[in-house]
Amino acid sequence: MGYKIYREKFADLFHELRASYEIYAPVTKKDKGMYSDTDLITYDKVESFTEIVFDKKTFFSPKEIVFPIRQTLFYFTEDSVLEPTKLEKDIVIFARACDINSFRSLDAIFLQNGPYEDPYYKKLRQRVKFILLPCDGFENCYCACLGTNITDNYSAYVDVRDDAVYCKVKDAYWKGLWSKYGEESEVEPRYVSKNENTFEIPQKINNSIFEHQMWSEYTNRCTGCGRCTVVCPTCTCFTVHDIRYDDNSKYGERRRVWASCQIDGFTEMAGGHGYRHKQGERTRFRVLHKISDFKKRFGFQMCVGCGRCEDACQEYISLKNCIHKISEIMAEEEKV
Amino acid sequence: MSVDTKKLVKNAYRVTKERYLTALRVRVPGGHLDTKQMTLISRIADRYGRGEVHITTRQGFEIPGIPMSRMEEVNREITPLLDALQKTTGIDLKVTFEGYPAAGTRNVSACIGNRVCPFANYDTTRLAQDIEGIIYPNDFHVKIAVSGCPNDCIKAHMQDVGILGQVEPLYDSKRCIGCKACVDNCRKRVTGALKFHNFTVQRDHEKCTGCGECILKCPTAAWTRGEKYYSVVIMGRTGKKNPRLAAPFLRWVARDVVLKICENLYSYIDKHIDRSLPKEHVGNIVDRTGYPVFRDEVLQNVDLGERAMVAKHINFGGYEYHSNASF
């Protein structure tokens, strides 16, 4: 069902929504950019509708809402273990199609990868409802190449234009709330149909790519800072630490923390042995996971084409450029 | 030809080795000017000089080869430069067609700052222009430079007053993935103010220079920018007698404090300068009065703020040219 709701009315609707939900959306954090006098656009909890930024891509992805950067799994004492039990409200996330689709990749890893579901992820994830935002595309995006430009996984859609908010509500539970504030109107979500960057993800990637010299370029260029993985909406690697509190080492907590395949220490073994020492090898691992290995396991691409890895890379390394190179190499091999 | 050289010097010209030829020094506060002014400078060099411009160490331009007889014409022609100076700095020069009204207080120079440089903690150009607005025109011989961060690319440590930009880094442990990029970088490139303990970063405020490198290194924005602060170093100099690096005077002070101490510096000089000399450099005045007198007078009526640190003593050091100890 579609609705047209005037801005002031929508603010009231939002207020009512906030009584029942924790609402996350893209916001501007003034002067919190890495460089001085710059802002950070990121997801955060919002109190009012006016805080939401509709015209910019966030630097970080919404994954941290369901997969916190640091998460206490349990506390331990000498003879007991205690799980954090704080009951929270359900969660609403305002997101574009690519970001909503990224949750499909997260779900696959946390809930369908092996015999056990990840209970810590599930606990947060099952509380999430999405409000879809329209999108006209941004720099470095290529969602349309992956089909992640479109989604039907949303409870409502909102598009702010001029003095009104045009909405479509799919969630039966929410229809009452929406009809209270708006008049019925024909609304269909606006998606990006074609990005500025258009290319094909290679369907078949031969193992020959593994030893290809193309990766040595990244050994020279990549500094291993890990930004590409922390901003990625689909990177899910983590490590686990047992922290013993300073004033009493018999007490502490087990914590899981994001890890990055690009940063030193990832999958490091006793004696300093590791699988991938060179940054080129680490880039290969990341790229092939995004566009090949994950698909072999789950049947769809992990990457959603949001372009954040490229937005964030301080060395101007472009994933789409890398994918393009792989395509060319594979096409060349086909000919031979 | 009769020329009042004192007046000429005050007018930002100089007596050169070539008789009857002078050179004009153009002020460029903050080292930043628009291309229209560049065009005018170039036109003046072509028309009155010998088609050459020298870039000075203080980021001004010096136009050599100007006949002394044509100074008045040149002054009229540089009116747009003085108008622009008024506009960018807020100075009221009263008259802008008679050339520069003073040359003792030198051009305030600045590194490129945060309009371009990722490391800079503030807009150095703007601060340089605001300082110029407070201290110019003035005959006292004072050199000031402002740097965007403690790396001090502008060599603020070679000035009477050097301003270095600081930022208070704020750490949100909930966002930290423990990659140690900040800790390693601080140890290798800065003062080693960060320590990794129990999978969390600890910062030693005493050691921290406020350079902001941890914020730049952090991939997750666990480190973000807090308040802007400034540190002030004083009485650095070259010279033929006792060259030395500037010494730390203030740390973690606000922008208002910086502007106020620049203003107070001039009252201090006015009070203590040896007027029997043709000119006396501020560093020599501080040598005579001692640092505590300088400190107390320059900090008069200054609200330093909670965070501020003030040097209790300063040993300026440097070396004496007449000392033969090394030879």
Could you tell me if A31 and A50 are in contact, meaning their C-beta atoms sit under 8 angstroms apart? no
Residue A130 domain-assigned (yes or no): yes
Q: End of a domain among B23, B54, B89?
A: B89
Residues of B whose CB is below 8 A from A246: 198
Please indicate if any CB of chain B lies within 8 Å of the CB of A68: yes
Residue A160 φ/ψ, nearest 5 degrees: -90, 115
Yes or no, beta carbons of A243 and B178 under 8 Å apart: no
Count of Cβ atoms closer than 10 Å to residue A12 Cβ = 14
Residues B77 and B13 in one domain: yes
Please indicate if any CB of chain A lies within 8 Å of the CB of B188: no
**What token pair was written down for A251?**
């007490």
Residue A191 domain-assigned (yes or no): no
List the CATH number of the domain containing B241: 3.30.413.10
Residue B62 domain-assigned (yes or no): yes
Mean pLDDT over A118-129 rounds to 96
Provide CB contacts within 8 A for B262, sequence distance 6+: B131, B134, B135, B144, B161
pLDDT for the residue numbered A201: 87
Mean pLDDT over A162-179 rounds to 94
Residue A308 domain-assigned (yes or no): yes
Name the closest residue on chain A to residue B214, using Cα atoms.
A34
Mean pLDDT over A218-242 rounds to 98
DSSP secondary structure letter of residue B237: B
Residues B47 and B144 in one domain: no
Residues B113 and B58 in one domain: no
Residues B13 and B63 in one domain: yes
Residues A264 and A125 in one domain: no
pLDDT for the residue numbered A85: 82
Which residues are A72's β-sheet partners? A255
Give the structural domain span for B13. Answer: 5-89
pLDDT for the residue numbered A336: 80
Residue B200 domain-assigned (yes or no): no
Residues A133 and A232 in one domain: no
Please indicate if any CB of chain A lies within 8 Å of the CB of B228: yes
* C-alpha distance across the termini of chain B, in Å: 48
Residue B103 domain-assigned (yes or no): no
Residues of B whose CB is below 8 A from A263: 179, 181
| Average pLDDT of every residue of chain A | 95
Nearest-CA distance A142 → chain B (Å): 23
- Closest Cβ opposite residue B121 in set A36, A241, A258: A36
Residue A77 domain-assigned (yes or no): no
Residues B245 and B161 in one domain: yes
Residues of A whose CB is below 8 A from B177: 69-70, 226, 230, 257-260
Please name which of A139, A31, A138, A178 lies closest in space to residue B168, comparing C-alpha atoms: A31
Provide CB contacts within 8 A for B96, sequence distance 6+: B79, B82, B83, B86
pLDDT for the residue numbered B231: 98
pLDDT for the residue numbered A255: 97
Residues A280 and A317 in one domain: yes
Residues B236 and B282 in one domain: yes
pLDDT for the residue numbered B32: 94
Residues A224 and A96 in one domain: no
Residues of A whose CB is below 8 A from B215: 34
Give CA separation, A75 vs A158, A238, B172, B174, B201, in Å. 41, 18, 21, 16, 21
Residue B136 domain-assigned (yes or no): yes
Residues B151 and B258 in one domain: yes
Yes or no, beta carbons of A230 and B199 under 8 Å apart: no
Residues of A whose CB is below 8 A from B221: 32, 34, 40, 42, 59-60
DSSP secondary structure letter of residue A297: H
Residues of B whose CB is below 8 A from A237: none
Yes or no, beta carbons of B219 and A68 under 8 Å apart: no
Residue B97 domain-assigned (yes or no): no
Residues A169 and A264 in one domain: no
Residues A33 and A175 in one domain: yes
Residues A169 and A265 in one domain: no
Residue A31 domain-assigned (yes or no): yes
Residues A320 and A211 in one domain: yes
Could you tell me if A187 and A3 are in contact, meaning their C-beta atoms sit under 8 angstroms apart? yes
With a threshold of 0.90, tell me whether the complex ipTM lies above it: yes
pLDDT tens string A44-95: 999 999 999 999 999 999 999 999 999 999 999 999 999 998 777 999 999 9
Please indicate if any CB of chain B lies within 8 Å of the CB of A42: yes
Residues A145 and A221 in one domain: no
Chain B segment 115-174 residues within 8 A of A by beta carbon are: 118, 120-123, 165, 167, 173-174
Residue B194 domain-assigned (yes or no): no
Residues A118 and A59 in one domain: yes
Number of domains in chain A: 2
pLDDT for the residue numbered B319: 86
Mean pLDDT over A304-308 rounds to 97
Residues B147 and B233 in one domain: yes
Please indicate if any CB of chain A lies within 8 Å of the CB of B178: yes
Residue length of chain B: 327
Residues B138 and B18 in one domain: no
Residues B141 and B269 in one domain: yes
Could you tell me if B55 and B99 are in contact, meaning their C-beta atoms sit under 8 angstroms apart? no
Residues of B whose CB is below 8 A from A34: 118, 215-216, 218, 221
Residues B153 and B241 in one domain: yes
Please give the angle made by the CA atoms of B52, B56 and B60, to the nearest 5 degrees. 90
List the CATH number of the domain containing B74: 3.90.480.20
pLDDT cut 90: percent of chain A above it: 93
Give the structural domain span for A311. Answer: 207-236+260-335
Residues A115 and A170 in one domain: yes
Confidence of residue A31 (pLDDT cuts 50, 70, 90): very high
Residues B23 and B56 in one domain: yes
Cβ-count burial of A155 within 10 angstroms (0-12 exposed, 13-18 middle, 19+ buried)? middle
Is A53 or A200 the better-scoring residue by pLDDT? A53
Residue B120 domain-assigned (yes or no): yes
Provide CB contacts within 8 A for A276, sequence distance 6+: A261, A266, A267, A282, A284, A285
pLDDT tens string B124-161: 999 999 999 999 999 999 999 999 999 999 999 999 99
Yes or no, beta carbons of A225 and B174 under 8 Å apart: no
Count of Cβ atoms closer than 10 Å to residue A241 Cβ = 16
Residues of chain B with pLDDT under 50: none
Residue B301 domain-assigned (yes or no): yes
pLDDT for the residue numbered B52: 97
pLDDT for the residue numbered B143: 97
A204 pLDDT above the threshold of 90: no
Please indicate if any CB of chain B lies within 8 Å of the CB of A227: yes
Residue A19 domain-assigned (yes or no): yes
Number of domains in chain B: 2
Could you tell me if B154 and B183 are in contact, meaning their C-beta atoms sit under 8 angstroms apart? no
pLDDT for the residue numbered A200: 82
pLDDT for the residue numbered A86: 75
Residues of A whose CB is below 8 A from B175: 69-70
